[in-house]
């Protein structure tokens, strides 16, 4: 089984949606990949309430996906997470490339970058729709 690692700032909203959606769709398509997700700057999510964003829960529910990790708290990325991933996706290049460069410089140019902005810049309906499209494309590209 191969692993894709989704990264965002707080591991509360975008990366968790990508992880849950990817795992659901991969299982349905019998793709031998599994997703995990982590935070690049978990301390910036100090005001996040609960283990998972209500936007993520709602977006998954609207797509008929049960959040299997809805009780798990956000997790900070560690070097071992990057080393054990077969593919790394950072959800917003503008936000996450500098964090990778600062915290894991070796990995800055090894990640795939998407352009999915956080909730203060783009509505959840648009952002989650974009993640859904990109997850679909990613699944079609994986061996």
Query: pLDDT per residue over 56-74, tens digit each?
Result: 999 999 999 999 888 899 9
Query: pLDDT per residue over 22-55, tens digit each?
Result: 999 999 999 999 999 999 999 887 778 788 999 9
The predicted model scores a pTM of 0.95
Domains of the chain: 2-141 (3.40.50.2300)
Q: Which two tokens stand for residue 97?
A: 């490339």
Query: Between the CA atoms of 113, 91, 142 and 3, what dihedral angle is there, to the nearest 10 degrees?
Result: 120
Beta-bridge partner residues of 6: 37, 89
């Amino acid at each position: 089984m191969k692993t894709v690692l989704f990264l965002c700032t707080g591991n509360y909203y975008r990366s968790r949606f990508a992880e849950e959606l990817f795992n659901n769709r991969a299982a349905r398509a019998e793709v031998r990949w599994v997703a995990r997700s982590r935070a690049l700057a978990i301390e910036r999510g100090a005001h996040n309430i609960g283990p998972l964003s209500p936007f993520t829960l709602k977006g998954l529910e609207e797509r008929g996906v049960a959040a299997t990790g809805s009780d798990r708290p956000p997790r900070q990325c560690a070097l071992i997470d990057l080393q054990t991933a077969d593919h790394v996706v950072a959800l917003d290049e503008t936000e996450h490339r500098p964090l990778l460069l600062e915290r894991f410089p070796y990995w800055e140019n090894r990640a795939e970058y998407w352009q999915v902005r956080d909730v203060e810049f783009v509505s959840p309906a648009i952002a989650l729709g974009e993640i859904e499209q990109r997850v679909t494309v990613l699944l079609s590209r994986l061996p």
